Structure 1
Amino acid sequence: MVHEVQAVVARAKGEPVELTTILVPDPGPGEALVRVQSCGVCHTDLHYRDGGIGDDFPYLLGHEAAGIVESVGEGVDDVAPGDFVILNWRAVCGKCRACAKGKPWYCFDTHNATQPMTLPDGTVLSPALGIGAFAEKTLVAAGQCTKVDPEASPAAAGLLGCGVMAGIGAAINTGGVTRGDSVAVIGCGGVGDAAIAGAKLAGASTIIAIDVADRKLELAKGIGATHTVNANEVDVVEAVRELTGGNGADVVIEAVGRPETWTQAFYARDLAGTVVLVGVPTPELTVELPMIDLFSRGGALKSSWYGDCLPSRDFPYLVDLYRQGRLDLDAFVSETIGVGDVEAAFEKMHKGEVLRSVVIFE
Structure 2
Amino acid sequence: MPEIAGPAAAALSSLCPDDVIFLRSLPKAELHAHLNGSIPIKTILELAQEHSHYSALTPEVAETIERLRSGVILNEIFDFFPLFPAIYALTSTPEAVAISTRAVLQSFLNPASDGAENPQCAYLELRTTPRATKYMMRERYLTVVLDEIEMYPATQAALIVSVDRRMSDLDVEECVRLAIEMKNNGRRVVGIDVCGNPRKGDMQPFTRHLSRAKGAGLGLTVHIAESTENTTEDSLALLSCRPDRLGHATFLSDELKALFFADIPQPGTECSLLSECPCIEICLSSNLLCKTVASLDAHHIRYYLKNDHPIVICTDDTLPFRTSCLGEYAMLLAQPPLGLGLSRDDVARVARMGMDAAFLRPHHD
TM-score normalised to structure 1 length = 0.31
Q: Which has the higher contact order (CA 8 A, sep 6+)?
A: 2
User: Higher helix share goes to which structure?
Assistant: 2
More strand by share: 1
Q: Please identify the structure whose Cα radius of gyration is greater.
A: 1
Normalised by the length of structure 2, the TM-score is 0.30
